Chain A
Amino acid sequence: MNKTITIEGVTRIEGHARITIELDESGKVSDAHFHVTQFRGFEKFVQGRPLTEMPGIMARICGICPVSHLMASAKACDDLLAVDIPPTANKLRRIMNLAQIVQSHALSFFHLSSPDLLFGMDGDPASRNIFGLIRDHPEFARDGILLRKFGQDIIALLGEKKIHPAWVVPGGVNAPLTAQHRDLILAEIPAALSRAARALEYFHTVRDRYPAEVDAFANFPTLFAGLISPAGLIEHYDGALRFVDENAAPVADLTDPHQYPSMIGEAVEKHSYLKSPYFRPRGYPEGIYRVGPLARIILAERCGTPRADAELGIFRTRLGRSPQSSFHYHWARLIEILYGIEMIQRLLEYPDILNTHVRSRARPNRFEGVGISEAPRGTLIHHYRIDENARMVWANLIIATGNNNLAMNRGVLQVAQRFVDGTHLEEGMLNRVEAVIRCFDPCLSCSTHALGQMPLCIELRNSTGELCDVLQRD
């Protein structure tokens, strides 16, 4: 008798999701799906709005990583204006983007994922959360909170607000950096670097405890995609979009953002509102690829900053150039925190960083614009079309989490096949299904897992709909 387990209430990017696990007659997992059940509608309701409002509107897609949408949207608008933004504005945008990546990664690692790593996947859910962390590992928790604060404070110093700053505008940014604010940020760099280094030390003490999870957490060969600098360094703001295979060998480079549809196809599955992007030359679903910190770490030759490169060396010595398990996203995230802090310092020390020419002015000079940047969770694409009066007529967004949709679905299936026993349900199984999703740090973990608990309910029903077993966590 076939059975389906439904995990209802896994919420997504500021929304809701559901996981269904299908069991065959012998109680073995036969299939699993990650359903994103919320519809946002941004691509539709921006139609008719002036393009200059786009960064401000699009930032509202997310409250955790609004800066990422600001970047991709502003770049798409720069493209519509057909301008090169002033070099100082470029650096300032990069600083804000890196600050965003540091704070988001800190949230993902310390607040959301580290309770699993420090207390164990089967640990007591009553203490496997940020409060348990504060009680049992206060220094570690403090480092996480202060690293997040470091990133948030930079965003606020640059853009006046921690969330949804209006500072990034088409053509650049709307205010230069002051010497006072630069010095405030620079003064925080040494402490932030120490915290990131301590977090890595801590991580090294726990990372080997989870061989089964490393083995089964979305551990399969796929392509990886992300931005890369012309020198082959890790890149979050500009550069070519590179696809590499499971051995980190380049498969394709996208240098003209307008050509992204030739590389990325967007499939739609009936079971989810989240699109399933795939690498078009390989077809669907064989063109499965992953984005985010692990992808960026794999496809870059090196980071380009000393501490991050040293840690990347340890990572590669230990795991090889191209580890396929999504469990390693956590480590990659920590390396990127280190890189982000070092790079912010480097950018702030450029002599022209206080230059007051930070905005290029122009009328729209194209009817179509594409902006690609790296969000904490991966590659983010904004694609706009406007009419002759600079009003939006069409938009297409490929959100970082969406790029990982196919991999998350396969990851859920893999972890379910490994850990779910159809004859009875256990807490640890429930948590591992969450934890594999959490590796990818989709926004759902941000919005719903802040206390270490997604309000999950797994129901096991037989083919007639009869409830066989239920596991509830509020």
Chain B
Amino acid sequence: MNTPVDIATESITLRIDDKDVSCRKGETVLQVARENGIDIPTLCYMEGLTVWGGCRLCMVEIAGSPKLQAACATVCTEGMIISTQSPRLENYRRMIVELLFAERNHVCSVCVSNGHCELQTMAVKLGIDHVRFAYRFPHLEVDNSHDRMRMDHNRCILCTRCVRVCAEIEGAHTKDIKGRGVLAAIIHDLDQNWGESSTCTSCGKCVNICPTGALTHRGTAVGEMTKKTTFLPYLTLMREAQP
């Protein structure tokens, strides 16, 4: 049986976008905002996985701090005054998504995830109708060696959701990251072809959790790849419920 919570000492009150809200100690700004119907955009965050804080789309302004903070990785404190929307934040978010598009070869129109892609949806939401930065057009491989799944590095945004779900939920830790900066890339085992991995259980969680067309089922054609992400909170909940 759970220990009764002392609401007076365990709860925190704060203000997000001029709305007074309260939460329990330890909750992050992102969690509290979403519980209160305040939308903060994210790409790398996924409920049920550890926080990565890599995409920087959830940056918010906190009164008294000149620095922007990642809402997913910032724990609420008493009396915080937070802004989730401002011209400055919109500008940064837009720039971040534009840079994601410029970094690799996404080409939405012929992507298997066209119409079902979080990156694409985010771009639409942020009103991105063009990219102001020069595209890098890197030469990247499609790893089609797995029997059922495909890794297209051209469409990877390095959110590491796949790395985390593989390590934390499936427990296989087949995927990881190599390199730094623009040279960073998702790898399997010791940077082998996915199909040669001895640790991959072919569970497919990475495919379903990938926000873009980077991880897909083999044999899908343009626009056919839809992802099912609702499984994750249930898996996490069941795991936590076990003694």
Contacts and interface: CB of A to CB of B under 8 A. Distances in A.
A46 to B, nearest CB: 10
A298 B144 CA distance: 46
A224 B218 CA distance: 41
Interface in A44-67: 48-50, 52-53, 55-57, 60
Contact of B224 (A57, A169, A390, A391): A169
A391 B221 CA distance: 13
A52 B110 contact: no
B5 to A, nearest CB: 51
A33 to B, nearest CB: 34
B221 A55 contact: yes
Interface string B101-120: 00000000110101000000
A171 to B, nearest CB: 9
Contact of A389 (B110, B112, B144, B152): B144
B188 interface: no
A52 B221 contact: yes
Interface residues of A, number: 19
B223 interface: yes
A361 interface: yes
B219 interface: yes
B141 A166 contact: no
A164 interface: yes
A60 B109 CA distance: 9
A472 to B, nearest CB: 33
A170 interface: yes
B220 to A, nearest CB: 6
A50 B142 contact: yes
Contacts of A390: 144, 218
B110 A57 contact: yes
A361 B219 contact: yes
A439 to B, nearest CB: 32
Contact of A166 (B142, B150, B219, B221): B221
Contacts of B152: 50
Given A56-B222, A166-B114, A166-B223, A48 B142 contact: yes
B192 interface: no
Contact of A53 (B145, B195, B222): B222
B219 A60 contact: no
A90 interface: no
Given A56-B110, A164-B109, A166-B114, A49 B221 contact: no
A48 B150 CA distance: 13
A361 B114 CA distance: 21
A169 B221 contact: yes
A56 B220 CA distance: 11
A361 B218 CA distance: 11
A174 interface: yes
Interface in B5-31: none
A166 B218 CA distance: 17
A50 B150 contact: yes
Contacts of B222: 53, 55-57, 166
Interface of A: 48-50, 52-53, 55-57, 60, 164, 166, 169-170, 174, 361, 363, 389-391
Given A53-B221, A55-B221, A389-B145, 19 more contacts: A49-B142, A50-B144, A50-B218, A52-B112, A52-B218, A52-B220, A52-B221, A53-B222, A57-B222, A60-B110, A166-B114, A166-B221, A166-B224, A169-B224, A174-B224, A363-B219, A389-B144, A390-B144, A391-B142
Interface of B: 109-110, 112, 114, 141-142, 144-145, 150, 152, 195, 218-224
